[in-house]
Structure 1
Amino acid sequence: MASKTHGARLLGAAALIVLSTGVAAEGRTLTNDDYAGAERYVGYNVTPLVDHAVQTVTWIDDAHFWYRDHDASGDHFVRFDTGTGKAEPAFDHARLAAALSKALGKTISADKLGITTFTTAADGRLDVNLHGKHYLCDMKDAATCAAGRDESVEGIGNEPGVLSPDKRSEAFVRNWNLWVRDVATGKEAQLTIDGIENYGYATDNAGWKHSNKAIVVWSPDSKRIATFQQDQRKTGDMVIVGTNVGHPKVEQWKYPLVGDKDVTMIERVIVDVGARKVLRLKMEPDQHRSTLCDDVSCGRDGGWDDVQWAPDASSLAFVSSSRDHKQAWFRVADIHTGDVRTVFNESVPTYYESGTGKVNWQYLPASHEVVWFSERNNWGNLYLYDLDSGKLKHAITKGEGNVTEVLKLDAASRTLWFRGVGRQQGVNPYYQQFYKVSLDGGAPALLAPEPADHTITLSPDGRLFADAYSTPTTPSITVLRSAQDGHVMNTIARADITRLLASGWKAPEPFTVKARDGKTELYGLMFKPTHFDAAKKYPIVDYVYPGPQTGSVGSRSFNPARADHQALAELGFIVVAIDGMGTPWRSKAFHDAYFGNIGDNTMPDQVAGLKELGKRYAWIDMDRVGIWGHSGGGNATATAMFRYADLFKVGIAESGNHDNRNYEDDWAEKWQGLLTTDKDGKSNYDDQANQNHVAGLKGHLLLAHGTMDDNVPPYETLLVVDALIKANKDFDLLLIPNAHHAYGAAANYMMRKRWDYFVRNLAGDVPPKEYEMKPPKD
């Protein structure tokens, strides 16, 4: 046992500054075998034990798709013919493995190809993507592979491209300008010429995210591109400094902060590809905002979410958002003159969102209509507007429950297909199901009725859809269904967890508790040791992510490993995750629960839920309550330790955005509001700053951060460290040199330190010394 100290010591691969080690543990001494038993349930060990779990498919054309199947013998890429129901290998795995082995200079196994995705190139070769590195493989005769673009390395020729609808061209950014590349020949052409540093075309920089991809929307005829010139010349900088021998590596980029007078703006343009001309829309610069999240591009397809072309490419529709997200304007642009017409707008007291997971508004110029998403009745529903007058025609969907994602709209039949939650009585309100509804109203038809979470992949023509459905406790069944009535046409795969169960794995237990108000139902998952004994008392650990953009539990689809919850439970803990009020998927009022008060962090709900569980189960020791979280969860953990210290005895706050005045502008200004300061110098952001509450700390707190975190800068944690030192508080600090937000190669080290910290300080046991995590080698 080390004595209390205000010194520092270096441990292993990371610096651990020990400011409080507490007293010696008096419990049992855990061994390497105990930790190895827990590690059996980490994702890299249990995920490979699930066979035939096909979550999504990739459509090749209207009648064929491919998917990756996995079983004990390895990975298999399968091509499925929807007409015949026949599944066969998508390519010759052995031939491709041999060709890749030769190209890479190392042995590639046919059952472990390592492919992320693949497509067929214009010349017939197979374009395989190995985590960003492309190889063009000729599978005829003596199969060979040639190295293609390497998107993992920045530089000329490796820029990631956005493919045109006709698949002949791809747009990309180079030296602040927009270019196109002919897919077949590789010939390149520069489309814009006046892009300069920090005032470039199609550039991707949200502050917390900054990449080299192009943010564009191609017109359906592949002749024009909608994009923007992003003005961040006056935007403030973020600077982080690396750790190395010699002069340190310095990273500097534009990173607007809450309250900044000058933030990143976009100037909307339309580029004529053939003529290489830029048409600037006749409007003031727009905010760098989305109706979906805190970036102009945040949907899963990586496109520009709030922009849609007319099907005949004759006009362009888009939605502008105010800086505080409280107002959204639906607009239409003339692609020949640049004139812009505002059709209608929606203003809300808190924040406007257009969906959950996808922007849901739809542009229907042929019928002079707009489908609009709104939560005006406390639920996410769809409404039909007149495009000419801007007037509401009628509601398309009504009542309780949310439309989450509009996946298809057929203007000819006036039918719309969408995923939704909370619309079926008696079904878990987080389970996504699939519906179709007429634009002219009427009750939606349920096409995926099983009470489970449904992942839907529509065919390009919308006639069919692959449906993978599961729950946190039941593995997935994947079927092919008709989009007209939902009837099952074929079974694609049935997940088999025989090998997983043989490992001793047990499913988490869903539960409900009451929220802070004593009335609202909250949903969570509980993880127990596989050797659980109801006669014992177990310390409890609350994993927290407060939102507001997502919650603690995550997807309700089957997942054999959620973070390291089961692994930690195996060391003698009860682990829970609870989606508190202020997180999405439920009603608007539920989501708005702590709007303007980020310091809430769902903690009143976490406290209420934990106390209810403690009363319900005698085997939960409410004198030993711990909490941990990452990013927003790191913020919430510190809040718990400072403001609810009588309940939470041990906390691990990883990479927390502890004061959102030091985080990028968009996220906090959406949830907390614009920064306001009164004549006394007090602001509406003072209370949310964790460093202002350090006096409340009583228990054991471990703060952790990567020193090259370009999402949540490390200064966020150092603000809290500074305040704790000034308050003469004992705490622990783990800074991981050169690590980004998710810690990269040090993630497993952090996981082990997390186990050690709870084992020692919450369970009162002694962890094995320097246990080494053993992830499988590639």
Structure 2
Amino acid sequence: MTDSFPRRQARTRRFTLGAPRGAALSPDGRRVVFLRSRGGTDPVTCLWSLDLDTGDERVVADPRVLDGNGSEEDLPPQERARRERAREQAGGVVAFATDRPVTMAAFTLSGRLYVAEFASGLTPRLIETPGGVVDPRPDPQGRRVAFVAGGALYVHDLVPRLTTLLVRPDDDDATWGLADFVAAEEMGRMRGYWWAPDGDRLLVARVDDDPVRRWHIADPANPDREPVRVAYPAAGTPNAEVTLYLIALDGVRVPVTWDAAAYEYVVDATWDATDLLLTVQSRDQRALRVLRVDQRSGATAEVAAIDDPDWVDIVPGVPAHLDGELVTAGAHEGANRLCVGGTPVTPTSLQVRALLDIDGDTLLFSASGEDPASTGLWSWSREGGLVERATQPGVHSGRLSAGTLLVTRACLESEGTATVAHLPSGAARTIDSFADPAGLAPRLELTTAGAGALSTALLLPSWWEPGTPLPVLMDPYGGPHAQRVVASRNAHLTSQWFAEQGFAVVVVDGRGTPGRGPAFERAVRGDLAQPVLDDQVDALHDLATRHPDLDLDRVGVRGWSFGGYLAALAVLRRPDVFHAAVAGAPVTDWALYDTHYTERYLGTPDGDPDAYARSSLFEDAAAARTPHRPLLLVHGLADDNVVAAHTLRLSSALLAAGRPHSVLPLSGVTHMTPQEVVAENLLLLQVEFLRSALGVPLPPS
């Protein structure tokens, strides 16, 4: 008997297992190092190396060979937290770091440190260290490996095989060399230390969580267990205090100084052959500064200032240097543009997503053009100007080194992703993917809808014939920083499965979502509810005029995280349009969510209480709107990102208002749902709830 789609999707981690990822390209453009498990249902990730000259591919590190544990890992708490922030669902070697020439790598398995040399072909060497190793990184010269254990930073010298404690925590609430919560969750910074180019010292972050309020996450299914105590910086409350030090290998520290009162967020650090650059951001996120650090005194000097009346976006890959000039990115003349020396070098017709690489005098970056569903690859140089490097529709990323272009592409024509290295000679080498096929071809129309020409996806059952009315299921995320309407087949697999159950599934990217420029993204400033909900309604009604078989008398909505918030908002605020909702891990009260995300859009609860009231679900829960629509709230009780209090407080408010609803608590589940049985049954329970609430018959067999 063939397993169901929900079971296969859960087992394959959404059909990502077995696909290459995390690729690093050597500076000479001749070697690619990457992560990949051995099959589409194998959750144990291995480290691989591909010689682009010969095409020889070999496994560098197989966790089952090295420690025999496979996916049964004993992870340090800090590594579990890092994986939760990174939304990592696999096991084994899930991250690695290399020296600059990419001749060797360091990684961990179950908190133990390993070092692998690519050219030797030898089995990676286990390094004797203190237990609980997190985030090992070789120095650029490949002579030493730094790592964090127990909140302390160590350096291991590979030749004498000597480990030195560089700096230890001086307080119970302090750590060295790790990213703070908001940096990892919201800024994309997963690290807390940076090697100097010559490997003789490091820039190290000290994170003090003492100012941060403590929350307690209990496990009601196991009342004998102590609640987990976490430092959570909710909107309007203190953040962790992050300070930086230059630390030599002999332990001598030099503090890095800047106006931390004005710019408390440490966004990133960049250390090249000439300069150490520090990027910091103000609490209100309207000001971002790039500072040059004096490597002897630790003093800083401003080299770039980016300001915005709403907020300054953090763009991956910048700042950087190109021939001595600073590369930055930001909003200019209505577009997100790449700048060199303060001058925009990309046109207003492109929305820059990230700077991916610098190869000599060439910048490689990703950007969207007229169609935000596609993200293309482009390069720019002074001599060659702007060049489109990936001309087909799809979602692209890449690396560029010594003229070798490594391209990763997801598209609508085929499943998964394709990873291909294009060599300067014109030859191409493909990195094989072992990912399982989904066996589900979306019946998909990508279009625009509503007055704002919103990016919209319509998915219909494969068995449906025109003239047969279909209930509608809205399946959005809807919030900032995430797109659902993309030119990638795998992005629509879950929606298509819901369509096969008898729904016309509609996905809309409304105001606030990326890809259409600064004004579109900033339309949610001060109100995360009404503009987002209005766009869903507007697109739905417009789409129905073109597709009269969409039954607007039976409209459901489902979502997770911001999508869960939007689903609950829909049935509470617009029960005239939406008739049932499944809200997974919803943010119900934005005062309970973290500082960096929430304050970007709403300010602080004390500074702009009206913005929080407009965006909260509690006034909607108490409002006398009728009829009362079926609402299923789902929440992982171990969630440390959107804590279960969001759902529990909304449930209490609904009960006080006499509004019927259902709550499904998930014991031991975090904001992710990687557990196979949980992930599978969540889909099945959702479809049964929606089918019952909307009166949807079983699909034809």
2:240 maps to: 264
For 2:257, the aligned partner's letter is K
Question: 1: distance between equivalents of 2:349 and 2:118?
Answer: 53
Residues 705/448 of structure 1: CA separation in 2 closer, same or farther (3 Å cut): same
For 2:355, the aligned partner's letter is V
1:372 maps to: 328
Q: Is the 8 A contact 2:111 2:134 kept in 1?
A: no
- The within-5 A match list for 1:529-548 is 529-548=461-480
1:465 maps to: 405
Question: 2: distance between equivalents of 1:370 and 1:239?
Answer: 44
Residues 439/238 of structure 1: CA separation in 2 closer, same or farther (3 Å cut): farther
SS of 1:455 mapped into structure 2: strand
2:312 maps to: 352
Residue 354 of structure 1 deviates from its aligned partner by 3.7
1:421 maps onto 2:359 in alignment: no
1:165 maps to: 140
Question: 2: distance between equivalents of 1:669 and 1:73?
Answer: 40
SS of 1:406 mapped into structure 2: strand
Residue 92 of structure 1 deviates from its aligned partner by 9.8
2:583 maps to: 653
Residue 226 of structure 1 deviates from its aligned partner by 1.4
Deviates further, 57-66 or 202-211: 202-211
Residues 531/56 of structure 1: CA separation in 2 closer, same or farther (3 Å cut): farther
Q: Is the 8 A contact 1:416 1:436 kept in 2?
A: yes
- The within-5 A match list for 1:154-553 is 156-183=131-158, 187-193=162-168, 195-206=170-181, 215-245=192-222, 247-260=224-237, 262-272=238-248, 274-285=249-260, 306-312=268-274, 315-355=275-315, 358-363=316-321, 367=324, 369-385=325-341, 392=342, 394-410=343-359, 414-422=361-369, 428-439=371-382, 443-459=385-401, 462-475=402-415, 477-482=418-423, 488-492=426-430, 500=437, 503=439, 505-515=440-450, 518=451, 520-553=452-485
SS of 2:572 mapped into structure 1: helix
- The within-5 A match list for 1:672-751 is 672-676=602-606, 683-694=610-621, 695=623, 696=625, 698-745=628-675, 746-751=678-683
Residue 581 of structure 1 deviates from its aligned partner by 1.4
Q: Is the 8 A contact 1:329 1:345 kept in 2?
A: yes
Residues 170/473 of structure 1: CA separation in 2 closer, same or farther (3 Å cut): same
Deviates further, 35-44 or 756-765: 35-44
2:81 maps to: none
Gapped regions of structure 2 (runs ≥ 5)? 73-89
Residue 558 of structure 1 deviates from its aligned partner by 3.9
Residue 471 of structure 1 deviates from its aligned partner by 1.6
SS of 2:544 mapped into structure 1: helix
Q: Is the 8 A contact 1:325 1:351 kept in 2?
A: yes
Q: Is the 8 A contact 2:49 2:60 kept in 1?
A: no
For 1:332, the aligned partner's letter is R
Residues 636/337 of structure 1: CA separation in 2 closer, same or farther (3 Å cut): same
SS of 1:380 mapped into structure 2: strand
Residue 454 of structure 1 deviates from its aligned partner by 2.2
Residue 119 of structure 1 deviates from its aligned partner by 8.0
TM-score by length of 2: 0.83
Q: CA RMSD in A?
A: 4.1
Question: 2: distance between equivalents of 1:593 and 1:212?
Answer: 26
Residue 395 of structure 1 deviates from its aligned partner by 2.7
Residues 148/725 of structure 1: CA separation in 2 closer, same or farther (3 Å cut): farther
Greater RCO (Cα-Cα under 8 Å, separation 6 or more): 1
Residue 709 of structure 1 deviates from its aligned partner by 1.0
Q: Deviations over 1:311-339 (max 9, x none)?
A: 14xx4211210101111122111111122
2:31 maps to: 64
Q: Is the 8 A contact 1:480 1:488 kept in 2?
A: no
SS of 2:568 mapped into structure 1: helix
Residue 56 of structure 1 deviates from its aligned partner by 6.6
Aligned length: 667
Residues 435/245 of structure 1: CA separation in 2 closer, same or farther (3 Å cut): closer
Q: Is the 8 A contact 1:76 1:89 kept in 2?
A: no
Question: 2: distance between equivalents of 1:202 and 1:41?
Answer: 38
Residues 286/543 of structure 1: CA separation in 2 closer, same or farther (3 Å cut): farther
1:82 maps to: 52
For 1:218, the aligned partner's letter is W
Higher Rg of the two aligned structures: 1
Residues 241/54 of structure 1: CA separation in 2 closer, same or farther (3 Å cut): closer
Q: Is the 8 A contact 2:24 2:33 kept in 1?
A: yes
SS of 1:710 mapped into structure 2: coil
Deviates further, 467-476 or 54-63: 54-63
Question: 2: distance between equivalents of 1:55 and 1:248?
Answer: 37
2:497 maps to: 567
Residues 702/149 of structure 1: CA separation in 2 closer, same or farther (3 Å cut): farther
SS of 1:564 mapped into structure 2: helix
1:613 maps to: 543
Residue 171 of structure 1 deviates from its aligned partner by 2.5
Residue 628 of structure 1 deviates from its aligned partner by 0.9
SS of 1:161 mapped into structure 2: strand
Residue 66 of structure 1 deviates from its aligned partner by 5.0
Q: Is the 8 A contact 2:155 2:164 kept in 1?
A: yes
Q: Is the 8 A contact 1:229 1:266 kept in 2?
A: yes
Question: 1: distance between equivalents of 2:256 and 2:12?
Answer: 53
Q: Is the 8 A contact 1:538 1:619 kept in 2?
A: yes
Residue 407 of structure 1 deviates from its aligned partner by 2.3
Residue 213 of structure 1 deviates from its aligned partner by 7.6
Question: 2: distance between equivalents of 1:599 and 1:572?
Answer: 29
Q: Is the 8 A contact 1:471 1:557 kept in 2?
A: yes
Residues 104/600 of structure 1: CA separation in 2 closer, same or farther (3 Å cut): closer
Residue 712 of structure 1 deviates from its aligned partner by 0.8
Q: Is the 8 A contact 1:289 1:323 kept in 2?
A: yes
Question: 2: distance between equivalents of 1:478 and 1:104?
Answer: 26
Q: Is the 8 A contact 2:393 2:487 kept in 1?
A: no
Residue 175 of structure 1 deviates from its aligned partner by 4.3
Question: 2: distance between equivalents of 1:135 and 1:263?
Answer: 34
SS of 2:244 mapped into structure 1: strand
Q: Is the 8 A contact 2:458 2:505 kept in 1?
A: yes
Residues 379/163 of structure 1: CA separation in 2 closer, same or farther (3 Å cut): same
Q: Is the 8 A contact 1:195 1:201 kept in 2?
A: no
Gapped regions of structure 1 (runs ≥ 5)? 1-32, 107-112, 291-295, 297-304, 386-391, 768-778
Q: Is the 8 A contact 2:71 2:91 kept in 1?
A: no
Residue 539 of structure 1 deviates from its aligned partner by 1.1
